[in-house]
Amino acid sequence: MNQGKNIQGTPAGAHWFARSPVLVWGGGAIGGCVAAFLTRAGVPVKLVDIVPEHVEVVRTTGLHIEGQVAQFVQVVQAVTPEQLTGTYDCIFLAVKAQHTVQAAYQLAPHLSEDGVVVSLQNGLNEGTIATRVGTHRTVSGFVNFAADYVSPGRIDYGNRGAVKLGELASGLTPRVESLAALLRNFDADSSAVSDIMRYKWGKLAYGSLLFATALANETMAETFDDAAHRQLFVALAREVIGIARAVNVAPYGFDGFEPDAFELNAHASLAATSLGRMADHYRHSSKQRSGVWRDLAVRKRKTEVDTQIAEIVRVAELHGRVAPVTGHLIDMIREIEVGTRSIDRSNLIELAQRVQQTQVPA
């Protein structure tokens, strides 16, 4: 094991992954930010991305990080998957959820025998990763910072958010503590946790609300603050939290989102307060609209709806439950994806009306 350079937050030599550079697979909003910050901190990093133009800019003139949190330019080693050689002890996987299968297939030959793939993705992708590389080589990550891929070599880092890592089985291990210490070069509050699935299900509930904001063109702050949408957000969050509890997971809150505020017997003021805090989280961010909205309105491409919040419906069905509110939301997002529905505030009104006509399980 390399006993050399001390990386912030961990004693020298404590990094089990120090025998080779850290591989960041996916150079978009999440992976690009992480790769740039780690490289700037002196961590050996290699970035892998499928867009040749992005790779060329990053490795030559540098990756431009802009926005509210930081502004700098950092040259990062970068290759396409076809150009990658060698094996690596630590791979941070940061591709869109729908690209997990392909990425896991491509990265598997480059993972060392005792290496690990860390999912820094939205959704529940760890099972897919583990199928390819093994459960013992899979670590779960939870990220909620706001960033957007703007163009080749440019990423807008809008605002900070929670970053957590954990083993698929409950409990802390030296490797997740070491990985969290590594990520403190990106965000000083990154931490290892013993119950990562509580955060992951919290993000599924939170993420469903972000998907809902993408039905309209107003900013996330404006939409969360709009009292006309409050009962819709309550019904949506309550449904996801209920599914989580059906699989024996009590979701954690973060960045303004408080699951207890959306429970059946909670006072209405608690949900209003939580939504207000979520609005405040984004109010002064350079990222004013969700990545889902950007996929639909700007990049004109499919969102993560089928591999992120549709998973809520699949889990519900496996446990004899239904998730009609989430199902209606999924239908609307898919209609926008194929061009049969436009993005407009009226979608939220229509969704609320559908909810009122649906018997939502407690």
Q: pLDDT for 125-142, tens place per residue?
A: 999 999 999 999 999 999
| Residue 14 pLDDT > 60 | no
The burial class, CB within 10 Å (0-12 / 13-18 / 19+), for 264 is exposed
Please report the pLDDT score of residue 286 as a whole number.
86
Please report the pLDDT score of residue 264 as a whole number.
86
Structure tokens at 48: 């892998």
- Residue 8 neighbours by CB under 8 Å, 6+ apart: 41, 181, 184, 185
How confident is residue 20, by pLDDT bands cut at 50, 70 and 90?
confident
Domains and CATH numbers, the chain: 22-194 (3.40.50.720), 198-356 (1.10.1040.10)
| Residue 216 pLDDT > 50 | yes
Give yes or no for a contact between 48 and 74, defined as CB atoms under 8 angstroms apart: no
Render the burial of 233-244: b for 16+ CB within 10 Å, e for the rest: bbbbbbbbbbbb
Cα 280–Cα 281–Cα 285 angle in degrees, nearest 5: 100
Give yes or no for a contact between 170 and 79, defined as CB atoms under 8 angstroms apart: no
Please report the pLDDT score of residue 359 as a whole number.
55
| Residue 6 pLDDT > 50 | no
> Average pLDDT, whole number, for the chain?
92
Whole-number Cα distances in Å, 208 to 17, 56, 259, 305, 349: 35, 35, 13, 9, 16
The mean per-residue pLDDT over the stretch 108-124 comes to 95
The mean per-residue pLDDT over the stretch 94-115 comes to 95
Give yes or no for a contact between 41 and 25, defined as CB atoms under 8 angstroms apart: no
How confident is residue 120, by pLDDT bands cut at 50, 70 and 90?
very high
Q: Which of 96-100, 309-313, 352-356 has the lowest mean pLDDT?
A: 352-356
Structure tokens at 246: 């059906």
d(C-alpha 192, C-alpha 202), whole Å: 16
